[in-house]
Amino acid sequence: SDKLVALFLHDNYARKHKSSGAWMSEYRTQTKNLPPNADPMEGVPIVSNNNNFAKGQPSTLLSYNDAKTLFHEMGHGHHGMLSNANFGRLASTNVLTDFVELPSQLFEHWLSQPEVLKKHAKHFETGEPISDELLQKIKAAEKFNQGFETVEYAACALFDMAVHMIEDYDDGFDLGDFEAKQMERMGMPKGIVMRHRPTHFQHLFSSSHYAAGYYVYMWAQVLDADVFAAFEESGNVFDPDVASKARQYIYSSGNTEAPDELFRSFRGRDPDIKFLLEKLGLANN
């Protein structure tokens, strides 16, 4: 199609005074709710991806994790650019936190596909594509240490909920003691600690947005693993029919329907955790 659907900007390199991390921004959110005689261009979204890659000379080289960040933020970008809602308040990434990381984490799956890496992961001097041997190592590394990482993350998510269930704090409240008792209650293995200790757990205290909601990243993993399985089941991870459904129910709908209904419309059922467990190597195929 030659129809303009979005304007996209990317600010990829670190520089002085720039905020750290990576994020997607919207300078204008998609909408169809325009005044009479308004220029239709006013409803076209303007989306940017912002990263902090170290700019090199003569070439900028990305690590695999950098590339994963690039794909992750592009997933958010597509959520904004492909939005197709009547009202801006229901468009783009204006969805429940449970759902907002699905488009971004889903997009990460295509980075590891051999067709993508063979095309883009090339030696910066010779142009030689990544070797099959290295592709196999990357694939094998995806399941390395996942038991440890799952436990340290889940401990944070459960602690987050526990600390926000306390109704009253007195002057004698000891956060360290509360943490220790919670870890004991969970049966936390002695060799693993929380990924984020309470006193620097910014997701909990920097704003109310993620308060008691740190679990959403793992819930989004359940969703993205299940959605990507639909592509794999088609026999082609680039299947246009499955991609069209993903665009309709994941990337374009915003908050025009409840997220659980959007998932059922795409998959025909509720999410199944088995796809995430298989992806992490915590269950057999």
> At residue 281, what are phi and psi to the nearest 5 degrees?
80, 20
Report the alpha-carbon distance of residue 137 to residue 123 in Å, rounded. Answer: 17
The type of residue at 165 is M
Report the alpha-carbon distance of residue 166 to residue 204 in Å, rounded. Answer: 14
**Is 184:162 a contact under the CB 8 Å cutoff?**
no
In angstroms and rounded to an integer, the radius of gyration of the C-alpha atoms of the chain is: 21
Sheet (strand 23-28) strand order: 7-13, 46-53, 23-28
Is residue 278 part of the annotated active site? The answer reads no
The type of residue at 258 is A
Report the alpha-carbon distance of residue 198 to residue 274 in Å, rounded. Answer: 31
Selecting among 26, 73, 101, 108, the annotated active-site residue is 73
Active site residues: 73
